[in-house]
Amino acid sequence: MIVNLGSVALDTTETPFKSVSRLVGGSGTYSSIAASFFAESGLIGIIGDDFPEEYINLFREKLDLAGLVIGEGKSFHFVSSFGYDLGARTTIATELNVFGDWDPIVPEEYRNAEFLYLGNVGPHQQLSVLEQVDRPRLTVADTIEYWINTDRAGLIEVISRVNGMVLNDNEVRQLCQTSNLIMGAKEILDWGPRFVIVKKGEHGAILFTRKKIFPTCGYPLEKIRDPTGAGDCFAGGFMGHLARSGSLNEPAMREAVVYGNVMGSFAVEEFSINRFIPLTIKDIERRYNFYKSMVSF
C-alpha cells in the first residue's frame, strides 16, 4: 500500500482563460488519486465540515480513507493564479483553517506501510507521520513555497530523514538560494536523501543521485487548462510505479520518473481532479509507451 500524507483542499484558481472557485484539490488528494491507478492508495488528511459530500464520494471510489478526518471548522482553502504561459504560479491566499493545527494520526493499519509519501503539509506534520510509520521501504517528501518561507529549518530536518525529495525548480532556487538547479540539487543531497527529483513543469523533471543525473522531458501537450497538482500527480505516478514493480533499482526509478511525467500531464488537462475520473490504466500505459518511443534514438 502507498500511504499519502497531504493537504485536502478547496482550490480557487485563476487562469487567463478560465477561473474556478473552491474545486477539490490539495497535495494529498492529487498524489493519492494518481497513485491509486497503480496500487492500493491511502490518504491521511483533514477536511472541514464544509467539505462537499460529492468529493468524499469520489474519494471513496479510488482511495482507502482510514486516515481522513473531518475537523470542526472550514476546509483548507488555497487561492492562486497563473499567467498567460500557465508556467509560474502566484499564491494569493493560503487559508489553512482546520489544517493549521492538525496533528495527523496514522491509523493502525497504515503503520507498516512500505511506501510513504509526505506531501506538502507543515514540516512538523511530515515529521510526526514519519515517526508513526515503522520502517517503510521508501519515503519521499515534497514541499511548497509557503513552508520554505515559514519553517525552513523544519523542512531541512524532514529532508535529512527521507529517502527522496521531490521539489519544483523554483522551490529548489528558493530553498537553496541559488539560481542553478544542479548546485541546488547537490546541496539537497548533502542534507541526506539518496535522491532528489527536480520538477520543471511542462519541461519535465530531473532525477539526481550522488552518482547520476537522469533528465527527462515533459509529455508534449497542446491543451493545458490548469497546472495545479501536476507535481503531486507526478509524485503519485512515481510512487505508484515503484510500489507496483516492487523494485527500487535504477531502471525502476527511471521508469517511475517517466510515469511521474505521464501522470502530471493528465493532471493539467483539466481543472481539479476531473481528468482522473474517466482515466484508466490503459490510457496511462498508452501515453507511457508513446513517450518511450518519442525519446528513443
Among 7, 75, 126, 261, binds ligand AMP (CB under 6 A): 7
Among 15, 22, 26, 165, binds ligand AMP (CB under 6 A): 26
Helix, strand or coil for residue 181? Answer: helix
Q: Smallest distance from the beta carbon of 230 to ligand AMP, in angstroms?
A: 6
Question: In whole angstroms, what is the distance from residue 27 CA to residue 9 CA?
Answer: 8
Do the bridges between strand 138-141 and strand 115-118 make them parallel or antiparallel, or are there none, so unpaired?
Answer: parallel
Strand (E) positions, the chain? 2-5, 9-14, 19-25, 41-47, 64-70, 76-82, 89-95, 115-118, 138-141, 164-168, 195-199, 205-209, 213-216
237 near ligand AMP (CB under 6 A): no
CB closer to ligand AMP out of 126 and 216: 126
The grid coordinates of residue 286 equal: 498508452
Question: Using CA atoms, how far apart are residues 142 and 128, in angstroms rounded to an integer?
Answer: 15
List the grid coordinates of 143: 514541499
Question: Count residues contacting ligand AMP (CB under 6 A)?
Answer: 17
230 scored as a contact of ligand AMP (CB under 6 A): yes
Closest CB 6 distance from ligand AMP, rounded Å: 7
Q: How far is CA 244 from the centre of its chain?
A: 18
Please identify, among the stretches 24-32, 42-50, 156-164, 189-197, the one whose residues bind ligand AMP according to the rule CB under 6 A.
24-32
226 binds ligand AMP (CB under 6 A): no
Q: Is 75 in the site for ligand AMP (CB under 6 A)?
A: no
Tell me if 15 contacts ligand AMP by CB under 6 A: no
Among 104, 218, 231, 240, binds ligand AMP (CB under 6 A): 231
- What residues from 114 to 133 belong to the interface with ligand AMP (CB under 6 A)? 120-121
Exactly one of 23, 25, 58, 63 binds ligand AMP (CB under 6 A); which one? 25
Q: Interface with ligand AMP includes 193 (CB under 6 A)?
A: no
Q: Does 201 bind ligand AMP (CB under 6 A)?
A: no
Query: What residue type is assigned to position 11 of the chain?
Result: D
Q: How far is the C-alpha of 219 from the C-alpha of 203, rounded, in Å?
A: 8
Which has the closest alpha carbon to 30: 172, 175, 192, 144?
144
**What is the nearest approach in angstroms of ligand AMP to the Cβ of residue 231?**
3
Q: Give the separation between CA 205 and CA 201, rounded to whole angstroms.
A: 8
Query: Residue 67 interacts with ligand AMP (CB under 6 A)?
Result: no
Footprint of ligand AMP (CB under 6 A): 7, 9, 11, 25-27, 78, 94, 120-121, 144, 146, 228-232
